Amino acid sequence: MRWPTIGQLLALAVLIAAIVIGLIYASDQVGSIVLITAAVTFLANAMWRLALIIVSMRSPPEADAPEVWPRYSIVAALHDEAKVVGQLIERLSKIDYPADRLQGLLVLEAHDHTTIQAALCTPRPPWLDIFIAPAGTPRTKPRALNCALPIATGEILTVYDAEDDPDPQQLKEAASRFASDTSGRLACLQAPLRIRRNYASAPPTPFLDRQFAAEYASLFETALPGMAKLGLPFPLGGTSNHFRVDVLRKVGGWDAFNVTEDADLGFRLWRHGWRLDVITRPTWETPPGGLACWLPQRTRWLKGYMQTWGTHTRHPLQLGFRGGFALAATLGAGLVSAALYGPSLAWFVTTVGVYSIAGLSPQTPAFAICVLSVGTASAWLSCAIGTRRAGVAYEVKDMLAAPFYWSLLSLAFVHAAWRLIREPFAWDKTPHAPDQPVQYQDQHSPVDVRLDVPLPVRLSASHVAASEPTA
């Protein structure tokens, strides 16, 4: 656990003191400054989003296949995923890559008996093994990944989640791109994540599902490709990132205490002099579902963004100007936007409502209208282009409903800030359901996974303690 530095605490204290003093002695001027600053920030963010849309139109370069395919490690850290582990194994089995060059590890927790049993009762390709992570804390996905990192035999390593359905050609595209890298500084490639919903496996939640899919499309089809084209670092997705294993070990693996370890690792690689890029072969995922599942997931993301912001602003000069700008334009802008979406919408609706009841025309400054229009249009355009590239539906009704989805981020922001104080390392688990029913248990020959009996031979050595490096 890392506490804020003296410099961070001092900067926060000065900011709070300046706001309090200003509100006491010059409240009108301070209010005007805050509003102007917010408006300029939103306008700059909108223009930045438009720039990324334009830059991302250039496709990533194609690369020739290497003469010899490098060894590849596939790692999936699972917890309470008995329902979908069979589905994941089936999907990983379809990956088109030389089997003798593959190593697969399903990283499971020792106490998670049901997932272990489900994995053992599902036929697996010879290259896919089960690894039981040693007991320990914090009980997070990055810690589980760190436990598996020392035994990874591949030159390249990729991470998948329980609900993932990766393109079978994704590994070959990533391996070809790494082989064609002449700079020697390419450390990670991010595949696009695309959202689809199978309503046979869960009740329909069309509003959240469609907005979530559009949000992902905006991020993975326009924003990240644009930043990669500009040679900037970016927060990685939590899955389908492909790493050079030697580099991953040099930078210390994943931060076991960060609940968005992917966002942290993207900037940590940059801080150590490495470069990130994107590939085109996607991974399909399912949306979290209703508000009861969406809110904890979004809370964890925003809490992790806060952790990552705090980590990388401890020594901001190490990121350099471009790295610092990218941090502010992604995590910083994301946090500020999440905090202001809800209050801004509430203020707008209240203002219009009060003036309408009074029979008056709202006295809205032209600059505010300009900011609102450009900001909303740029977000709509980013989603529209992203969803078209991803093959995801995005209609006028989705555009009109988007502000209400954005306002929900403010609820998640408040929740995340509170959880950061009370439970900074608690991992909000998102439940997953299979696209189709999966029968994983053979009732005629059940597998006993109690802790007091020997584990089957295909389990990796769970008793070997692994290091847990953090940022």
93-102: average pLDDT: 97
- At residue 135, does pLDDT exceed 60? yes
What's the pLDDT at 137? Answer: 85
Cα–Cα distances in Å, from 235 out to 192, 228, 238, 269? Answer: 13, 11, 9, 11
11-39: average pLDDT: 71
pLDDT, tens digit (0-9, with 9 covering 90-100), for 406-431 = 999 999 999 999 999 888 888 888 87
pLDDT, tens digit (0-9, with 9 covering 90-100), for 267-278 = 999 999 999 999
Residue 112 or 374, more confident: 112
pLDDT, tens digit (0-9, with 9 covering 90-100), for 310-327 = 999 888 888 999 999 999
CB distance 467 to 115 below 8 Å: no
pLDDT band at 378 (very low <50, low <70, confident <90, very high): very high
What's the pLDDT at 462? Answer: 37
Residue 168 burial class via C-beta count within 10 angstroms: exposed 0-12, middle 13-18, buried 19 and up: middle
- At residue 39, does pLDDT exceed 80? no
pLDDT, tens digit (0-9, with 9 covering 90-100), for 164-195 = 999 999 999 999 999 999 999 999 999 999 99
Phi-psi region of 469 (alpha: psi -120 to 50; beta: other; left: phi over 0): beta
- At residue 12, does pLDDT exceed 90? no
Residues 51 and 214: their CA atoms lie apart, in Å, by 19
The pTM is what?
0.86
pLDDT band at 340 (very low <50, low <70, confident <90, very high): confident
Greatest mean pLDDT range, 215-219, 368-372, 391-395: 215-219
